[in-house]
Structure 1
Amino acid sequence: MNEQVSFTLRGRNPDVLTCIANLSNDEVFTPPELAGRMLDLLAQAWATDHGGDLWANKTVRFLDPFTKSGVFLREITSRLTLGLAQEIPDLQERVNHILTKQVFGIGITRLTSLLARRSVYCSKYANGAHSIAEGFASDAGNIWFERTEHTWAKTGTLGKCTFCGASQAAMDRGEALETHAYAFIHTNHIKTRMTEVFGDDMQFDVIVGNPPYQLNDGGYGTSAAPIYQLFVEKAFDLEPRYAVFVTPSRWMAGGKGLDGYRAKMLADKRLRNIVDFPKLYDGFPGVKIRGGISYFLWDSEHNGPCSVQTLWDGQPMGPTVARHLDSFDVLVRRNEAVPILEKVQAKAEPAFASRVSSGKPFGFRTFFHGKPDSKKLKEPVKLFGSRKVSWIDRSAVTVNPQWIDKWKVLMTAVQGTSAAVETKFLSKPIIAEPGTACTETYLVAGHFDSEEAATFCAQYLRTRFVRFLVSLRKATQHATRDVYSFVPDIPLDQEWTDAKLYKRYSLTHDEIAFIESQVAARDAELFDTDAADEVDDE
C-alpha cells in the first residue's frame, strides 16, 4: 500500500466534510473540528482511567449508530492509524485491522451510508477497486444500511409510528422516498438488532455520534417532535464503556416530550462531562438550532458529579465545575448561575409561576380576531391579540371570564429572535385594564384588584433579576408558564428595582456583574399599554 495514503484528507484544502450542506432538519452534519473535540474528550477520559493511549489499543471497538458524513469514523480511523503504527507496522495490515475489527457504523439513509463509506473507505463500496480496505465481502463493509419501515399504530385512518412517533400521513411515502425509519431505534431488542446487522455478538466499547434530531409528528403546521433522545437511550442499552454524543441542548430545560428524558439524564451519575454551546450558530456554524447544542461523555463506571463547561465562540466561559445535575428540575447551564439560584431558593418563597396562566388564558387561539370596533356589541370586551386590538362580546368569553374585570399583566408567550444571542428574555409587560381579555399570543402573568398592584407586578417583571431567573429555564423563544418557576413570588406592594432585589438575596458584586452581563437593560419606557409584537427584536 502506498505510504502516502492520507486517511484524514488534512492535506487537502478545504476538507470536503466542511463544505457539504445539511440534508434536512434531522440530518445535521457534524463539523470535523467539533468531532475532533469530542474524541479528544474521550481520549482524555481513557488515559485517566486506563493510563494509556486509546488510539494505540487494537482491541477497542467503536460504533457510530447514526453515521451521516462519516466524520467520526473517519477521524477514529485516522487516529488509530497513527496510534497503532508500532503495534502493527505494516500500513495495509494496520488499516485492514482497524476497518474490519474496530470501526463500525449504521447509516441513517442510503445516501448518507454511501457518503460515510466514501469518507472512511475512500470508496462508496467497501469491497470496490478503490477501497483502502481489503477483505470485505460486501459492498457495505462495516457501515450498514438497509431500508427499514415504520410500525404504524392506527388511530382513526392514519396513525403514528410506535417506535419514533413519526406521522404516517407525512412519512408513509412509498418506495421511491426515504422512510426515515431509523433501524437503530425501530426495535425492542437492540442487542439482537446489532447481531442481525453485523452478524456477530457485538459488544462496543465506545459509541459516538450525532443522532437525527426530529421528525414530523403530524401536529399542527410543520410540527416536529424530537427523536435524538431515543437514540441516546438505545445506545445506553447496548452497555458500552463510553458514549459520546452531540445533541440539541433543549432537553436541559424544555423540549417537546422531553420531560422524562431530562429527569433520567439529570439523575444519571454516569454522566461525566458536558460541554455546552449556548450561543446560536456556535458549534454548528450556519445551522440554526434554537437553544444551542452540547456534547456529553457518559462513562458506565463513573458515579459522581458531572463536569460542566460552557464554550462561547469556541472559547471557555467561566469556570468548569463538577456538580450534581439533579439539584434542580432543569439543568442550569452556566455554572456561575448556580450559587445565585441557590440564594434565591434558600428563602423558600413560592414560585411566581403560580400567578401565570397556561396557554390560551381566555380560550382564544392566536389567529382569532374580533371586530374592529365596539359598535353593535351588547357588552364589549377589548381583546389583545396578535399585533392588534379588536373587540368581542363578553358572552364569547367562556374560559376564565372572572378575569375580565380585573387589572391584568400580559406577557407574550413567544419572546426571542433569530439573533445569535438573546439578552432580553421577556417582552415588555402590558397593563390590561378591566374589561379586557387576550388571545393565546399572551399569558396572563397575574390579575389584580388595583392598577397599582398590576403596575408593581409589571415593574418586577421588567427587572434584570427576574429576566435572569427566567433565562435559566428558557431554552427557546417560547416563554411559557414554566419559565417563571425560578422567579420568587414576593409581595407586590412596592416598586421593586434590581438594587432592592440584589440586596434582598445578598448577591455579591461578582454575581451582580454576571447577571448584568447576561441580561440587557430595558429602555426607559416601563411597559406597553397596547398590543405588543409577538417577537421582540434583540
Structure 2
Amino acid sequence: MTSQASFALRGRNPDVLTCIANLSNDEVFTPPEFANRMLDTLAEAWAADHDGADIWADKTVRFLDPCTKSGVFLREITSRLTHGLAEEFPNLQRRVDHILTRQVFGIGITNLTSLLARRSVYCSKHANGQHSIARGFNHEAGNVWFESAKHTWVKGRCEYCRASQKILDRGDGLETHAYAFIHTRDSKSRLAEMFGDEMQFDVVIGNPPYQLDDGGYGTSAAPIYHLFVEKALDLDPRYAVFVTPSRWMAGGKGLDKYRERILSDKRMRNIVDYPKLYEGFPGVKIRGGISYFLWDRDHNGPCEVQTIWDGQPTGPAVARHLDEFDVLVRRNEAVPILEKVKAKNEPTLDARVSSRKPFGLATNFRGKPSADRLKEPIMLFENQRKGWIQRQDVKVNPEWIDQWKVLMTAVQGTSAAVETKFLSKPIVAEPGTACTETYLVAGCFDNGAAASNYANYLRTRFVRFLVSLRKATQHATKDVYSFVPDLPCDQVWTDAKLYNRYGLSEQDIAFIESQVAEHEPELFERVDPGSSEDG
C-alpha cells in the first residue's frame, strides 16, 4: 500500500454510504455523519477516563459491531485508527493490517449487508481479494463474519427473538432474519466460534435491526433492537454505544422489562435524543424519534441527557437519575414541572381511563345505519361514523351505557415532524351510548356538567403536556394518562388555574406552551343519542 492509498474514504466524492437507501423496515442504515457523532461521544468518554488519552491512538482497543449493515461504524473507526496510530506504525500497510486483523470486528445481519460492510471496510467484498486494502487475511470474510443462523421454534415462536414460525420458517432460499448475535445463550462462546479465539471487546457499537420483519407493521411490529443491546451489555465491554428508536423510553411493544433495566442501570453515562421526526436519520420515518446512548462499565451515577432539535442542543446536558420515574422524561425542562405536579401525591387518570375495547367491540365492528326496528337501540361510536346496535350486544361494561361518558380516540397523531396536540378532541356522550375499540372511555359520570368539565380539563395544555411525556407514538392508551392528576370535576379547570395550583414558574409555563398547541374554546363534541348528527 502506498501513502496515496491512505484510508481516507471520507475524501471520496460522493461517499456512497450517504447515498444508499434502506433495504427494509428492520435494516435502517446509519448516516456517516451520525455515526461520527457517536464516535465523538465515545472518544470524549475515553479521554475523560484515561487522563486525556486518544482512543484512536491505542493499538490494543478492540471494537465490535454485532449488527453491521453498511459497515459505516467499522469504516469510520478504521479511518480514525489509521490516523491515530501513524506514530505507532509508520508503515501504512502494517498499520492497516494491524487495525483490520486485530482491532475491528463485525457481524453481518444478512449476507447482502455483510458484503456491503466488507466493501466499506476492506474496499473489496473479499477481505483477501486482489483489491482489498488488507494483506493479513487468508479467508474471504476477514473479520466481518456472516453465516446463516436458524430460529429455534417453540410453539410457533422462536425462543430467542419471538419471530413467527408461520411467517419466517420458509427454507434456506429466503432471508429468515435469524440474527446470529442474539440466537445464542452464550454470546462469548459464540463470538469465539466466529472469530477463532476468546474475544473480549472494549467497545461494542452499532445500529441494530429495529423490528421483526414477520408481518407486523410500524409501531405494531415486534421490536428487536433491545435484544441486541442486552446481549451486548452481557459481554461486559468497557463501553457500549447504540442508536435505537426512542420508543423504549415511554412505551413500545414488549419493552417494559428492557426499559426498567436501562433506567435502573447506573452505568448509563450519556443519552443524546432526537425526538423530531426525520431529524436523526433524514428521510427515515421512525415515530417517536431516535436516540443514542453510551454505557460505561465503570460509571456509577447519574446519566447526562441532552435533546437535539433542528440540529442544535435545546440546552446543556443535564445529569439525571433515569429511574426517578417509571418512564424516561425526555426533555430536561419537563422534569421540574413534573416534580411539582407529583409533589401533591394526587391520584392519576390512568385509574379512570378504560383499557382498549371498553365495550368489547373491535374497531371494525359496524352497527346498523339507523335505530329502526331495533328493540332496545343504543348509539355506537364507530371508526369515523356512528351506528346503532341492540343493548344486549354489549357484553363488556354494560353498566356504562346509561352513564355520561367522555370518549377519546385511542390513536392520535399526524405524519408531521412535530406533534403539538397529543390528544384528540373529547366527545361527551350522553346516556344510551357505547363505542368500539376506536375510542377509550376516558371517564364516566352521573351528570352532564361533570362530563363537560372533565372534557374541558382534557383539552387544556397542562393535561396534554403531561400526556406528551409518556406518549412516544400515535397510540394514546390509558398509560399515557399516568402523570395527569385526577381532579374534582365540580368546576371548569383552565390552564391558568392549573398553573397556579401547581406553582409553575413563568419559565415552566413558557416551556409547556412552546410544546403544546392551544385548542379552540370548548373544543369537544357533545352527542345526544337522539340526534341524527354524524360525527
* TM-score normalized with structure 1 length: 0.97
Aligned residues: 527
Q: CA RMSD in A?
A: 1.3
Query: Is 1:444 matched up with 2:441?
Result: yes
Query: Is 1:209 matched up with 2:206?
Result: yes
Q: Deviations over 1:254-289 (max 9, x none)?
A: 000000000000000000000000001111100010
Could you tell me how far apart the structure 2 residues matched to 1:320 and 1:36 are? 19
Could you tell me how far apart the structure 2 residues matched to 1:192 and 1:256 are? 30
Could you tell me how far apart the structure 2 residues matched to 1:127 and 1:381 are? 74
Could you tell me how far apart the structure 1 residues matched to 2:114 and 2:271 are? 28
Could you tell me how far apart the structure 1 residues matched to 2:178 and 2:437 are? 35
The aligned amino acid for 1:515 is: I
Could you tell me how far apart the structure 2 residues matched to 1:288 and 1:117 are? 27
Q: Does structure 1 conserve the Cα–Cα contact (< 8 Å) formed by 2:177 and 2:213?
A: no
The share of aligned pairs that are identical, in percent, is 76
Structure 2, unmatched stretches of 5+, are 529-535
What is the DSSP-based 3-state SS (H/G/I as helix, E as strand, rest coil) of the residue aligned with 1:506? coil
What is the DSSP-based 3-state SS (H/G/I as helix, E as strand, rest coil) of the residue aligned with 1:381? strand
What is the DSSP-based 3-state SS (H/G/I as helix, E as strand, rest coil) of the residue aligned with 1:10? helix
**Cα 1:28/1:219, change in 2 over 3 Å:** closer
Query: Is 1:493 matched up with 2:490?
Result: yes
Q: Deviations over 1:300-342 (max 9, x none)?
A: 0000000000001221012310010000000000000000000
Q: Which residue of 2 aligns with 1:287?
A: 284
Q: Does structure 1 conserve the Cα–Cα contact (< 8 Å) formed by 2:430 and 2:527?
A: no
Could you tell me how far apart the structure 2 residues matched to 1:510 and 1:130 are? 60
1:397-408 paired onto structure 2 within 5 Å? 397-408=394-405
What is the DSSP-based 3-state SS (H/G/I as helix, E as strand, rest coil) of the residue aligned with 1:169? helix
Could you tell me how far apart the structure 1 residues matched to 2:472 and 2:11 are? 40
Q: Deviations over 1:342-364 (max 9, x none)?
A: 00000000011111000000000
Q: Which residue of 2 aligns with 1:535?
A: none
Q: Which residue of 2 aligns with 1:165?
A: 162
Could you tell me how far apart the structure 1 residues matched to 2:31 and 2:258 are? 26
Q: Does structure 1 conserve the Cα–Cα contact (< 8 Å) formed by 2:456 and 2:522?
A: no
1:523-534 paired onto structure 2 within 5 Å? 523-529=520-526
Q: Which residue of 2 aligns with 1:307?
A: 304
Q: Deviations over 1:387-411 (max 9, x none)?
A: 0000000010110000000000000
Q: Which residue of 2 aligns with 1:334?
A: 331
Match of 1:254 among 235, 251, 255: 251
Q: Does structure 1 conserve the Cα–Cα contact (< 8 Å) formed by 2:379 and 2:386?
A: yes
The aligned amino acid for 1:273 is: N
Structure 1, unmatched stretches of 5+, are 532-538
Match of 1:192 among 189, 192, 205: 189
Match of 1:522 among 502, 519, 522: 519
Could you tell me how far apart the structure 2 residues matched to 1:469 and 1:274 are? 22
Q: Which residue of 2 aligns with 1:82?
A: 83
1:14 CA drift (Å): 2.0
1:8 CA drift (Å): 3.8
**Cα 1:314/1:215, change in 2 over 3 Å:** same
Could you tell me how far apart the structure 2 residues matched to 1:419 and 1:219 are? 22
What is the DSSP-based 3-state SS (H/G/I as helix, E as strand, rest coil) of the residue aligned with 2:307? strand
Q: Deviations over 1:132-187 (max 9, x none)?
A: 00020110000000011111112xxxx01110011111111211111110000000
The aligned amino acid for 1:4 is: Q
The aligned amino acid for 1:91 is: L
1:335-484 paired onto structure 2 within 5 Å? 335-484=332-481
* TM-score normalized with structure 2 length: 0.97
What is the DSSP-based 3-state SS (H/G/I as helix, E as strand, rest coil) of the residue aligned with 1:226? coil
1:430 CA drift (Å): 0.2
Q: Does structure 2 conserve the Cα–Cα contact (< 8 Å) formed by 1:216 and 1:223?
A: no
Q: Which residue of 1 aligns with 2:97?
A: 96
Q: Does structure 1 conserve the Cα–Cα contact (< 8 Å) formed by 2:220 and 2:253?
A: no
**Cα 1:346/1:183, change in 2 over 3 Å:** same
Q: Does structure 1 conserve the Cα–Cα contact (< 8 Å) formed by 2:356 and 2:477?
A: yes
